[in-house]
Structure formats: structure tokens, C-alpha cells
Amino acid sequence: MITTAVVPAAGMGTRMLPATKSVPKELLPIVERPALQLIVDEAVGAGVDHLVIVTSRAKPAIEHYFATDTEVEAALERQGRVAAAEQLRRYGNDIRISFSYQDQPRGLGHAVACARTAVGDQPFFVMLPDELMADSSLLLGLSRVVADSNVGAVALKRMPRAELSRYGIVSPVGDERAMCGLVALPFVEVVEKPAIDDAPSDLAIIGRYALTPDIFDDLDALRPGSTGELQLTDALAAQARRSPLWGVISDVGRRDIGNPLGWLQAVVEAAIDHPDFGRDFRDWLDERTRKDS
């Protein structure tokens, strides 16, 4: 079982400006919980007990969120929200939180490389906080594939042709097959944000990775591209050329909350399903829809 997860959270969140001028995008609320809390919940549900958050010193609010605050915990308990208070108390106790720093925007590969000392020499997850998953099942599946194959595994999703230039696209070798109860295939190349006509497949990497620690040597060997950034996909491509990596094709519920529309969709879905006021929200939404129709 993989027990460490790296969460790259140093970015500026430019697609969500001006809100992210003062509030880190990872702390924008999905109803009453910050998005980063949902990422942590997903990781813990997959057996993670060590979170390595790669942040920037210009975003102190992220560290503050995980700091012990007995007044906040007491306020939650007075409101009858005991479970939320207990969840906050777990940080630093049941769940270890480490921080690494990426103070210059040098790409996702550089962000992951910044976590090397905190991660150590064991396999680990990388979880992009712009993407929310419905549950922990995808992480659990990736962990099983790494344990079975001893090589890295990434989550894949078939994307419409028009969207391929937004993602890292893998070049599969061989057909899809059952592996650890999942649909998986090996791949030997990754192309970061290709032109549509140059995409080697329609299989895009979505924001969940289970990586082996040798990836750090490949990250250290990278040279910046034309944008000056170090790309994680380039390190994955170097690994895959030595020995094919695995892609797990996923149909788990997913929202890209790094843009306003995706964030709104995630908020509305969470509100509809909320155990306390979901019914009232659905009634209001139905009434509003009837008025607008």
C-alpha cells in the first residue's frame, strides 16, 4: 500500500483570478470545505498517512489551514460539527503533514522534485489539486498496479479530439487488458499538450499518479523546455522508454475545478448531495429552474 501522497500546490491559480489574488485556489470552498480538504480526504481513504504539500512561501494560508487551532475546533463542536473538529485534530497526529517549497513557477516536474527529501525511497502518489475525484477508488487501483508491476502507473481518460492539446497524451503499446481488477494498458511515450494532429492517442493523463522513487533521478536529469519549465511527463517518458509504464483507464467521477465552470459544477454537485441542506438546496434549484424556463 502506498502511504505517501504529494500535492503540488504552489501555483498562482491564474484561471481563477481575481479570487486567487488573496486566497489560494486550493482553499476555495466546495460548500463549507476547502478543495484541498477533499484532496486530503481522498488520499486518506486510500490509506495515505503522510501528505507532502508542495507550496510557495507566498501562500502561507495553506500551512495555516493545517496548523492546530483549538479555538476553531471548539467552535465547530459548539455548532454540533464534532466530526469536522475531529478531522482537523488528525493533522499532525494520525496524518503527518510535510511542506516543501517551490518559490519559482518552474513546472509540475520541478514541483514533484521539490518533494524528494520528504518522500524518501518508497512509491508515492501525486495528486493534482485542480482535479477532484468522486472517491478513493482510483488511487487504490493505481497502488495495486504499482505493487503488481513494480513500475509507475498513471490515471487515464479518453478525451474528445478537441481537448487533447490540454493534456499529456500517452502512446500505448498493446491492447487494453484486465489488471488488478482494472482496465489498463502499457505505454512507452508521453507527449505533453500535443497539437491535435500529433497526439499519439486519445488517452489523456488525468491528475492522479502512482510513481516509483526512481522518478526523482529522471526529474533531476531534465532540462527546461521552451517555456522554462520542467515537465513531469518528460520524466515519465524517460521511464517508459526504459520499461513500459501502466495507464489505468478510469471512469471515476471527476471535476476540473481549476476553471470557474468546473468549480461551479463541483459546488452545485456537493450542495445537492449535502447531508444537512441538500434537500433544501435541490428544492430551491428546482424552483429557480422553473422560474427561468
Q: Kindly list the domain boundaries of the chain, sorted by start residue.
A: 4-258
CATH number of the domain at 4-258, out of 3.40.50.2000, 3.90.550.10, 3.90.1200.10, 2.60.40.10? 3.90.550.10
State phi, psi for 231 to the nearest 5 degrees: -100, 135
Distance of alpha carbon 123 from alpha carbon 52, whole angstroms: 13
Average pLDDT over residues 244-260: 90
DSSP for residue 26: G
Percent of the chain with pLDDT over 70: 100
The SS3 assignment for 129 reads: coil
pLDDT tens digits for range 28-57: 999 999 999 999 999 999 999 999 999 999
pLDDT of amino acid 292: 77
pLDDT tens digits for range 180-221: 788 899 999 988 889 999 999 999 999 999 999 999 999 999
Alpha helices in 49-164 (DSSP H): 60-66, 70-78, 82-89, 108-113, 116-119, 137-149
Cell numbers 481549476 correspond to what residue? 258
Percent of the chain with pLDDT over 90: 72
Confidence tier at 1 by pLDDT (50, 70, 90) = confident
